[in-house]
Chains A and B, each alone.
Chain A
Amino acid sequence: MTWLSLRFARRELRSGLKGFWIFLACLALGVAAIAAAGSTAEAFRRGLASQAGEILGGDIALTVEQMRFSASERRSFAGLGQTSWAVSTRAMAQSLEGRRRLVELRGVSERYPLAGTVELRGASSLESALSQGPDGTFGAVIEQDLLNRLSLKLGDRFQVGSLPLIARAVLIQEPDRLSRGFALGPRVLVRDAAVEQGGFLTSGLPFSETTRILLPPGASLEAAKARLQKLLPLGQARVRDRNDAAPGIHRLIDQLEYFLGFIGLAALVAGGLGVYGAVSAYLDSKTASIAVLKALGADSDLIRNTYLLQIGALAGLGIVLGLALGAIAPLILGAAIGNSLPIPALFAIYPGPLIKAGAFGVLGAAAFSLGPLGTARATTPAALFRQTTQSGFHLSAETLLSGLAALGLAALAIAMAPTPIAAVVMMVGVIVAFGLLWGIGRLGAFVAGRLRAKTKGPLRLALANLAGPGSAARTAAPAIGLGVALLAAVVLIQSSLLRQVAEIAPQTAPALVFTDIPGDTAADFDQVVAVAFGRTLTPDIYLRAPFATGRILRVRGSQVDTNSIPRQQRWAYDQDISVSALGAEPANSGIVAGQWWPSNYAGPPLIAVEVEAAKGANIKVGDTLTVSLLGREIEAKVAVLRHVDFGGFNASFPLVVSANTLAGASLRQVAIAKASRGQEAAVTEALGRDFAGVNVISVREQLEAATDLFNRLALAIRGAAAVAALAGLLVLVGAIAARAQARTREAAILKALGASRGQILAAYVMEYGAVGIIAGAAGVGLGYAAAWPVVVLVFKAHWAVDWGGVFTLVLGAAVIAGFGGLAASMQALSKRPAAALRAD
């Protein structure tokens, strides 16, 4: 770069940004979307990190299932720092009028919470709300949903299981809620003594106990964890620390960031056509200047540097604009809805995501603007004497650099992704889609050229323009199509999944799940259900099986190293999972390897393992597994690998041991049933009389809640995907602007030849409407191709096309593009023909 290039570039830029608004807008939009996605995710990460102690409820949390910590363990924990205790279980809450609802019951010690505060309404403090009344009845803090469901008001009495409670306050928020995961029902907070008094902590019942330890200032977290590892038997307790307070949420944030960032990248790629078009148009307009400079003795390096500096400066401006927007948007979001977000967020300006977005912007600008620069550099000074426009592909240093920048863009996107393979698939998808759209645009132009001879009037003019050198079918259609494809993919995936949740799952999944059925009265339980249902229970509507939870400790005699197990299968090894004990092979057993044991099998323990879980540790038929079950370690030989449809109506246990393995143990049982709303209400009420301890989980309610959540998310995701479509629109505007002068001249000539305003207007609307239809239809087709494998292969859901959404997208693209044509024609027609032709 020489000072002369700088001087010439500065002189050129003095004429302002005319023709570069689209360039700036396209670049800024893509960069802003990526920066906003990254900044928002970072705000959530920092928020989670800043409140990690509150979220976990301390520095370390230890949880045991179906048992309590021993007195010596309690003393050891207390030696590490301050401790609080909590016991959790699920149970049925019941009003005095007999209304029943499954709740998440949690009993906490007096020192709870060690970090953060519990937000309440209706009581001055947690201590007063949970205190015992004069008659010894414990107070409870409950969620508003439970008040509504049981028609309670504060001060009313109700019971959970057989435990009487008084509703003293409404629970707004607990500081450690995020670390405790998904809830099947409203939360009820009481003292731990109350849970114990209610009989929920009996051995074998599905409860858990968690202790939270707040280390003294300066104490080593790692040292404390090491002491705990020595203290606790292998696999007995789940240990988490403040650095891993909410791992699921972190994964969710990573995925969300990548999804939104990907949309930003797609917007950058779609907008890249706008960048390319704007740079090409700008450099085309400079052909004479470049030729003059060359005639005056300027060499091609001086020309390249002069225009590279200009484009670089403008790209810098676009990127800075985008970064500013991307940095500010989350701040505005935080100010507007920060208080109602379910995840703590620290909205601020973070350099990391902005640097990343800036890198995407630089690579995007280079990928789409260096090509035209190479073409401009090759302009010969003879252009001053005759039209020698450089067109077509020219292999030059600039085109090579442009290709390298495009590769860099893809590599950066893949490197930043939480799952690189998925990122590669997405990038390849975008590149293939873009290539196809580009081809379809050219095909559209070609077909228009062939058809125009068979038409006349405004349609002929529209087709001629579509086929001509500045055809928007070639420039804007691929960009609009990419935006439409993204929107279409989102719409189709959402509609299929929504249908799966709202329509298909209720038909295939059980409507009700019953847990904690006492093993010794299971037959009586069946009878109560049959009476409430008003029919005989058959295997197609009712299944019951023994239930326990256990953990895989060793495979083939070796301790399980969860870090070496792929993340998709780790769930089966890093926590307690459900186990049943069956004799005869269940219906729809899904065996993929091995043979089920005879119903009267009496040999050494055998086990059936879910096939996906088995893949995690490469478990084969004949291997031995050591499973921690009911407080003892059981070594079982793998007899069966089977596929389990976890959402379906079958024995959905990842582990099933032969019935003799647990002979003598009175296992509690679970049951699933298909039921109408009426049957559901009847059985819930009936069980309150004879089986108050049995929990009734309404799958229907969960599905309805999921549908509601899905619908709310759908709007937000579609809004995000619309950013890419907006980039497409910007490219359309750019294409219209680039041809504005030619349009004005064309309209003037047509008017001089006798064409009416209506005819010219109709021609332009038809031309751009056709661009919209080409882009919309191609985009929907590609969106269909992208959505189908996601729905069918990834989510394994039924494919359902939202034809209304698809039609709206195509029509929307056509109408918006048609409006673009209208705007182009209005602008062209606004000038008097004489003035336009004289200027020419």
Chain B
Amino acid sequence: MFEFPLRLSKVCLTLPSTAGPVNILREVDLEIRPGERVAVTGPSGSGKSSLISVAAGLERPTSGQVELFGADLGSMDEDGRARLRRGRVSLVFQAFHLLPNMTAEENVAAPLEIARTPNAQVIAQSWLGKVGLGGRRTHYPHQLSGGEQQRVALARALAGRPSLLFADEPTGNLDSANASLVADLMFDMVADVGAALVLVTHDLNLAERADRIVLMRDGAIVS
């Protein structure tokens, strides 16, 4: 019997606003198997990014249960959730979110250092080589193109060999050539490390590369 990297049961997320509470997620149930690649699609505002935010433990659901590797996130505080993510869960964002004052190598090394992984710099250099940026390791994010930044983000996400990768529109800010390159790298590397993947995307071509597609609408999974 294997352990589900991620299980969501009747997860709801309601946020306050000036116009009154807004229901972002409505009773979402979702299970991700080890190594499974799941694409989450749906129109803007359907709750895809919020699903990642809640599933990765970045914020608490209003109700329902989120289990990461069998651990109930509801019983943990924010620091506990952060510690749980270390080395096991990674994220890639549409806006790259590289740390602006760190070089490419330092960005990749950062989660390894946080997880106290030995030889973080060496591993970071190796992963930069894998994404084709071995020659740009001392460059700062503002010195890299969008595609290069996303490749650094990908290396950062996978260098710790996580068991679960969340990718939120990873190609959304890239031109088609770079988008294709990043998508190829992501699928190849996820397969290489054996991680499960939760990919939020509008791009149906990209979604079709996943093992399963989940469609969201108005905060609920509809298929």
Report the contact-size class of chain B (Cβ under 8 Å from the partner). 20 to 34
Q: Which residue of B lies closest to A302 (CB)?
A: B114
Q: Which residue of A lies closest to B79 (CB)?
A: A299
| A14-B101, A296-B114, A297-B111 known; A385-B53 Cβ under 8 A | yes
CB of A755, distance to nearest CB on chain B (Å): 27
Judged by a CB distance under 8 angstroms, whether B67 is at the interface is no
> Contact at B82–A294, with CB atoms within 8 Å?
yes
Q: Which A residues are in CB contact (< 8 Å) with B59? A: 380-382
8 Å CB contacts to B: which residues of A380-398?
380-382, 384-386
Q: Which residue of A lies closest to B57 (CB)?
A: A381
> Contact at A384–B93, with CB atoms within 8 Å?
yes
> Contact at B97–A297, with CB atoms within 8 Å?
no
Q: With the chains together, A539 CA to B220 CA distance in Å?
A: 102
Q: With the chains together, A449 CA to B56 CA distance in Å?
A: 41
> Contact at A292–B99, with CB atoms within 8 Å?
yes
Judged by a CB distance under 8 angstroms, whether A110 is at the interface is no
Q: Which residue of A lies closest to B93 (CB)?
A: A384
Q: Which B residues are in CB contact (< 8 Å) with A7? A: 113
| A15-B100, A302-B114, A385-B49 known; A380-B58 Cβ under 8 A | yes
Q: Which A residues are in CB contact (< 8 Å) with B110? A: 8, 293, 296
Judged by a CB distance under 8 angstroms, whether A12 is at the interface is yes
> Contact at A301–B79, with CB atoms within 8 Å?
yes
Judged by a CB distance under 8 angstroms, whether A288 is at the interface is yes
> Contact at B114–A298, with CB atoms within 8 Å?
yes
CB of A106, distance to nearest CB on chain B (Å): 72
CB of B40, distance to nearest CB on chain A (Å): 14
Q: With the chains together, A585 CA to B156 CA distance in Å?
A: 98
Question: Which of A8, A296, A385 counts the most B-chain CB atoms under 10 A from its CB?
Answer: A296
Q: Which B residues are in CB contact (< 8 Å) with A706? A: none
Quick one: which of A11, A296, A299, A381 contacts B111, CB cutoff 8 A?
A296
> Contact at A295–B91, with CB atoms within 8 Å?
yes
Judged by a CB distance under 8 angstroms, whether A742 is at the interface is no
Q: Which A residues are in CB contact (< 8 Å) with B99? A: 11, 289, 292-293
CB of B172, distance to nearest CB on chain A (Å): 13
Contact string against A for B residues 43-63, beta-carbon threshold 8 Å, 1 for contact and 0 otherwise: 000000110110010110000
Q: With the chains together, A101 CA to B116 CA distance in Å?
A: 88
Judged by a CB distance under 8 angstroms, whether A681 is at the interface is no
Q: With the chains together, A688 CA to B82 CA distance in Å?
A: 97
Q: With the chains together, A382 CA to B59 CA distance in Å?
A: 6
Q: With the chains together, A386 CA to B52 CA distance in Å?
A: 12
Q: Which residue of A lies closest to B84 (CB)?
A: A297
Q: Which residue of B lies closest to A297 (CB)?
A: B86
Q: Which residue of A lies closest to B59 (CB)?
A: A382
> Contact at A295–B100, with CB atoms within 8 Å?
no
In the complex, how many residues of chain A place their beta carbon closer than 8 angstroms to a beta carbon of chain B?
28
Looking at chain A's contact residues, the main secondary structure is helix
Q: Which A residues are in CB contact (< 8 Å) with B53? A: 381-382, 384-385
> Contact at A382–B58, with CB atoms within 8 Å?
yes
> Contact at B115–A297, with CB atoms within 8 Å?
yes
| A295-B56, A380-B59 known; A4-B113 Cβ under 8 A | yes
Judged by a CB distance under 8 angstroms, whether B147 is at the interface is no
Judged by a CB distance under 8 angstroms, whether A300 is at the interface is yes
Q: With the chains together, A300 CA to B81 CA distance in Å?
A: 11
Q: Which A residues are in CB contact (< 8 Å) with B98? A: 292
Quick one: which of A8, A293, A299, A385 contacts B83, CB cutoff 8 A?
A299
Q: With the chains together, A342 CA to B40 CA distance in Å?
A: 83
Judged by a CB distance under 8 angstroms, whether B85 is at the interface is yes
Q: Which residue of A lies closest to B103 (CB)?
A: A11
> Contact at B97–A384, with CB atoms within 8 Å?
yes
8 Å CB contacts to B: which residues of A275-318?
288-289, 291-302
8 Å CB contacts to B: which residues of A1-49?
4, 7-8, 11-15
| A300-B78, A300-B79, A302-B114 known; A295-B85 Cβ under 8 A | yes
Q: Which residue of B lies closest to A379 (CB)?
A: B78
| A289-B99, A295-B56, A296-B111 known; A380-B78 Cβ under 8 A | yes
Q: With the chains together, A11 CA to B103 CA distance in Å?
A: 9
Q: With the chains together, A382 CA to B60 CA distance in Å?
A: 9
Q: With the chains together, A385 CA to B93 CA distance in Å?
A: 9
CB of B161, distance to nearest CB on chain A (Å): 14
Q: Which residue of B lies closest to A298 (CB)?
A: B114
> Contact at B100–A289, with CB atoms within 8 Å?
yes
Q: Which B residues are in CB contact (< 8 Å) with A295? A: 56, 58, 85, 91, 97
Judged by a CB distance under 8 angstroms, whether B183 is at the interface is no
Q: With the chains together, A558 CA to B161 CA distance in Å?
A: 91
Judged by a CB distance under 8 angstroms, whether B106 is at the interface is yes
> Contact at B82–A11, with CB atoms within 8 Å?
no
> Contact at A11–B97, with CB atoms within 8 Å?
no
Contact string against A for B residues 17-53, beta-carbon threshold 8 Å, 1 for contact and 0 otherwise: 0000000000000000000000000000000011011
CB of A397, distance to nearest CB on chain B (Å): 14
Q: Which B residues are in CB contact (< 8 Å) with A8? A: 110
> Contact at A381–B97, with CB atoms within 8 Å?
no
> Contact at A294–B113, with CB atoms within 8 Å?
no
Q: Which B residues are in CB contact (< 8 Å) with A292? A: 97-99
> Contact at B85–A297, with CB atoms within 8 Å?
yes
> Contact at B97–A299, with CB atoms within 8 Å?
no
Judged by a CB distance under 8 angstroms, whether B102 is at the interface is yes
CB of B132, distance to nearest CB on chain A (Å): 22
Q: Which A residues are in CB contact (< 8 Å) with B115? A: 297
> Contact at A385–B106, with CB atoms within 8 Å?
no
Q: Which B residues are in CB contact (< 8 Å) with A380? A: 58-59, 78
Judged by a CB distance under 8 angstroms, whether B87 is at the interface is yes
Question: Which of B56, B91, B99 counts the most A-chain CB atoms under 10 A from its CB?
Answer: B99
Q: With the chains together, A294 CA to B111 CA distance in Å?
A: 10
> Contact at A299–B93, with CB atoms within 8 Å?
no
Quick one: which of B50, B78, B100 contacts A294, CB cutoff 8 A?
B78
Question: Which of A293, A297, A385 counts the most B-chain CB atoms under 10 A from its CB?
Answer: A297
Q: With the chains together, A293 CA to B82 CA distance in Å?
A: 9
Q: With the chains together, A298 CA to B116 CA distance in Å?
A: 11
| A288-B97, A384-B97, A385-B50 known; A293-B114 Cβ under 8 A | yes
Q: Which B residues are in CB contact (< 8 Å) with A12? A: 101
Question: Which of B49, B97, B106 counts the most A-chain CB atoms under 10 A from its CB?
Answer: B97
Q: Which B residues are in CB contact (< 8 Å) with A294? A: 58, 78, 82
| Other contacts beyond A289-B101, A293-B110: 19, CB < 8 A | A8-B110, A11-B102, A293-B99, A293-B114, A294-B78, A295-B56, A296-B90, A297-B82, A297-B111, A300-B79, A301-B79, A302-B114, A381-B53, A381-B82, A382-B53, A384-B97, A385-B50, A385-B168, A386-B15
> Which 8 A-B pairs have CB atoms at the shortest separation, nearest pair first?
A297-B86, A382-B59, A299-B79, A381-B58, A296-B111, A15-B101, A382-B58, A292-B97
| 14 residue pairs A–B, Cβ–Cβ below 8 Å | A7-B113, A8-B110, A11-B99, A13-B101, A293-B110, A295-B58, A295-B85, A295-B91, A296-B85, A296-B110, A297-B82, A297-B83, A380-B59, A384-B93
- Residues in chain A within 8 A of chain B (CB atoms): 4, 7-8, 11-15, 288-289, 291-302, 380-382, 384-386
